[in-house]
Structure 1
Amino acid sequence: MTASAIAIILIFLTFLWSLIQRPRHRKLPPGPWALPVIGNLHMLGNLPHRSLRDLAKKYGPIMSMRLGTKTTIVVSSPEAAELFLKTHDTIFASRPKVQSSDYLSYGTKGMGFSEYGPYWRHIRKLCTLQLLCQSKIEAFAPLRREEVGLLVESLRKAAAEGQVVDLSEKVGELIEGITYRMVLGSKNDDTFDVKGIIEEIMLLTGAVNIGDYLPFLSPFVFRYVVDCRNAHSPSIYLSANQ
């Protein structure tokens, strides 16, 4: 059997599966007609926010779309957003499960990716009472004061020598230094790039992964999975043990 024949069979089976999984007895908001397999993915274009704006003008502030195999509700007005995010916020509190969360959030166990429920409420309570309480914030005040003092001293030295200073970079280094000392209890010795890892994780979680919309392609998204695994490398544990 040739590769093209296998591809055709896979597409046909996916089309049948999408027909079976299509919601039949649920009343969905109006929306554009979806193609088999890919749904409305082709309508997003290079500027999805503008494409969604144009579609909202035609179908209204609350519309339904099918992104691959995922039925999606798109909200495009402040009034509708308030209904979803404030009035009925607990119903829509969970984040969709994406492939990156399995690698970057311990199988969606992190607070930012886990489903809303008893587990999420428990870890949120731990963060509120044990990590972000007033006593903990005050306990780290000397540490923050020391790091800010080092920043001011470096700026004073650079000004005396007439050097050009990238203030954004300096502030980033300040945040990195404070974070490293608060989490690991010691200064960063340049063996563990906190800022770089955070930037890479943000890039991966914000990137479009076709496997999230077409699950049958997930096993073939090798480059994306490798990048996620590299961002979640054991270097953080090695640094913590130091």
Structure 2
Amino acid sequence: MFAIRLKVWVVKFPHLELEMALQSVLKQFQSQLVTTVHDQLLEYNTLFLFLLLILPLVILILLKQYLLKSEHKLNLPPSPPKLPVIGNLHQLGTLPHRSLQALSHKYGPLMLLHLGSSSTLVVSSADMASEMVKTRDIVFSNRPKTTAANIFLYGCRDIGFAPYGEYWRHARKICVLELLSMKRVQSFTYVRLEEVEILINKIRLSCFDGGIIDLTVMLQAVVNNVVSRCVLGRKAEEENGPGKFGVLSRRVMILFTAFCFGDVFPSLAWLDVVTGHIGRINTTFKAIDALLDQVIEEHRTSNGDDVDDQFDKKDFVHILLQLQKDGMFEIDLTQNDIKAILMDMFVGGTDTTSTTLEWAMAELLRHPNIMKKAQEEVRSVVKNKAKIDMNDIDEMNYLKCVIKETLRLHAPVPLLVPRETSTITKLGGYDIPEKTRVFVNAWAIQRDPKLWDRPEEFIPERYVNNPIDYKGLDFHFIPFGAGRRGCPGISFGVATVEYTLANILYWFDWKQPGGAIDNDKLDMSEVNGLTAPKKFPLRLVPTLYSP
């Protein structure tokens, strides 16, 4: 502080009282002036500190406004009107693939939605899917990280949900060359034969008392066991019901698709803790993690020499541990990485396969003439043999057409596994911002009347002498996706579907309970989940076929 000095000229007055009064007034003025200047300096200091604190916030607000203006300058795809906070969440409905198909009719094949805090692009045409995969596949090859996938798949160290990059490329290479190659799929033939034989024997027993069976549950059990034995070397389902792994895997499937606040509103992730959702995920994860550790340890301590020279007896755990032991990995796979890959194989290979079988049987029941034609082919190929072998399947061309048509009308994962853009890009002439979540509505594409004749009808004949296939090259038929992120387990899953369906068509005739003959009224409602299975299970009456 500085001092203010006032030079006071004192005038000599004849009267002492007047002189003293004048000096008092001058002193009072000097004091008030010093106080006023001091107060003003304090005000200036306070204002300076306030500006110093508020300036960063102002800069952030201005920067955000600038970025928003920049985004508005982008040529974004059309969007339906949105509500505050939730955006377009309310428009998804209970069956998102159907709701999004209806919206695409109004807003076009590329549509930008705002689902909570995330921007989501919906691709609903074969042309746009083709452009995305053929010209910009790398940009669209990332995966959004969800809470459940992050926990159950060890930080997304699997193949299906891992972010695009070096680790994913090496892990997928291991999967394609070592776990899901055609040679490996054929090596698991004995597993399919044994598990399907158990299924046929169970159904055969029910034929003797004319009972109703829950075919949906039986198909889930046989598929779970085939996948579990190939992956872990042990069954998921026992004679008297699901085993420990079967119970835990079903919990995983449910929790994988349960609503999670943090995935839609990151700032509300704490609600997942409050509601107990995170607790349920962690409890299930710890149990299944301990089980996987036990399985891996059993494989390590068992006499591996028994299977080292038997290519067709090795499960996925054997294969991965052997590759690790021989130093064949191009990357260092930890135990958690191995467990993530094993979980991926199970999650990706069970519900998708059993759901396809369920829908195939439902469609055949609704179309008795198609059912009869498929059975006649299977029975003419097998003749009077005691068992169907894999060579027989190769001759069942109409059966393959039935499976293709099932996959067209009932894509196992209707919106495929979501992708995410790694940088800003263009698609269909529109700007697609970085970190945009991407859904490809395969269900809508495969029912597009511009691409398919009578698209809502079940017509297997459309594939006779038609080279169209589901392996990702024909973009109007992509039930398993396409491009770098296409499903690597197509051969594995289809082999199980073909062999199981051929057997239940060969050995049994089927009808609905009560002798219902109006098969058109079979309820074909679906529910949304990890896949889109029938809402109501297939409860049927089998009759043993006598050649």
Report the TM-score when normalising by structure 2.
Answer: 0.36
- Partner of 2:244: helix, strand, or coil? coil
2:238 is the alignment partner of 1:183: no
1:221 to 272, 277, 293: 272
How many aligned residue pairs are there? 224
Name whichever of 217-226 and 86-95 sits farther off: 86-95
**Which of 131, 134, 146 in structure 1 is aligned with 2:194?**
146
1:32/1:40 contact within 8 Å kept: no
In structure 2, the partner of 1:97 is 145
Answer whether contact 2:149 2:156 (CA < 8 A) is retained: yes
| Cα shift readout 1:52-109 (whole Å, capped 9, x = no counterpart) | 4565455433232332322222333333233224543332122211111211111111
In the other structure, the counterpart of 1:237 is 292
From 179, 185, 190, the counterpart of 1:131: 179
Please state how far the C-alpha of 1:34 moved relative to its aligned partner. 5.3
Q: Write the distance in 2 (CA, Å) between the matches of 1:93 and 1:107.
A: 18
What displacement does 1:151 show? 2.1
Structure 1 SS opposite 2:111:
strand
- Per-residue Cα deviation, 1:106-134 (whole angstroms, up to 9, x for no partner): 11112111112221111111111111123
Structure 1 equivalent of residue 93 of structure 2:
46
Identify the residue that residue 5 of structure 1 maps to in structure 2: none
Written as runs of structure 1 = structure 2, the 5 A alignment for 1:162-177 is 162-177=210-225
SS of corresponding position for 1:221: helix
Q: Does 1:118 pair with 2:166?
A: yes
Q: Once structures 1 and 2 are overlaid, which stretch shifts more, 99-108 or 74-83?
A: 74-83
Counterpart of 2:70 in structure 1 is 25
| 2: CA distance, partners of 1:49 / 1:169 | 25
Q: Distance in 1 between matches of 2:86 and 2:210?
A: 58
Instruction: Pick which of 104-113 and 63-72 moved more.
Output: 63-72
Matched, 1:201 2:252: yes
| 8 Å CA contact 2:195, 2:222 repeated in 1 | yes
Q: Which has the higher mean CA deviation after the structures are superposed, 196-205 or 45-54?
A: 45-54
2:112 matched residue in structure 1:
64
Identity %: 31
Q: Distance in 1 between matches of 2:98 and 2:185?
A: 42
Cα deviations across residues 125-157 of structure 1 (Å, max 9, x unaligned)? 111111112332233222322222222222223
Q: Structure 2 counterpart of 1:225, which letter?
A: I
SS for the counterpart of 1:208 is: coil
The alpha-carbon distance between structure 1 residues 73 and 172, as it changes in their structure 2 partners (threshold 3 A), is closer
Q: Tell me how far 1:199 sits from its aligned partner.
A: 3.5
State TM-score, norm by structure 1: 0.75
Contact 1:68 1:213 in 2 (8 A): yes
Higher relative contact order (CA 8 A, sep 6+): 2
* Contact 2:92/2:100 (8 A) holds in 1: no
C-alpha distance in 1 between matches for 2:258 and 2:126: 26
Q: 1:64, 1:74 within 8 Å by CA — same for their partners in 2?
A: yes
- State the 1:49 CA deviation: 5.0
Unmatched runs of 5 consecutive residues or more in structure 2: 1-60, 299-547
Supply the distance in 1 between the matched residues of 2:199 and 2:103 (Cα, whole angstroms). Answer: 49
1:226 maps to a residue whose letter is: G
Contact preservation (8 Å) 2:81, 2:88: no
| Greater alpha carbon shift after TM alignment, 135-144 vs 102-111 | 135-144
Contact 1:177–1:187 (CA under 8 A) maintained in structure 2:
yes
The change in CA–CA distance for 1:21 and 1:182 in structure 2 (over 3 A counts) is farther
Change (3 A) 1:115 1:154: same
- Check the 8 A contact 1:95/1:113 in 2, yes or no: yes
Tell me by how many angstroms 1:217 deviates.
0.7
Deviates more, 1:119-128 or 1:152-161: 152-161
CA–CA separation in structure 2 for the residues paired with 1:186 and 1:59: 49
- CA gap 1:31/1:151 in 2 versus in 1, 3 angstroms: closer
SS of structure 2 residue aligned to 1:234: helix
For the aligned residues, what is the CA RMSD? Answer: 3.2
Letter in 2 for 1:65: L
Output the CA distance in 2 between the equivalents of 1:167 and 1:50: 26
- Larger-Rg structure: 2
Q: Which runs of 5+ in 1 are unaligned?
A: 1-15
In structure 2, the CA distance between the partners of 1:216 and 1:81, relative to structure 1 (3 Å rule), is: same
* One-letter code aligned to 1:211: G
Q: 1:156 aligns with which of 204, 208, 211?
A: 204
Q: d(CA) in 2 for partners of 1:53 and 1:144?
A: 37
Amino acid at match of 2:188: F
Moved more, 128-137 or 152-161: 152-161
Note the C-alpha offset of 1:201: 2.7
Structure 1 consecutive aligned stretches of length 4 or more whose deviation exceeds 6 Å: none
- Counterpart-to-counterpart distance in 2, 1:214 and 1:193: 32
CA distance in 2, matches of 1:21, 1:103: 37
Indicate conservation of the 8 Å contact 1:30/1:64, yes or no.
yes
Higher mean displacement: 204-213 or 25-34: 25-34
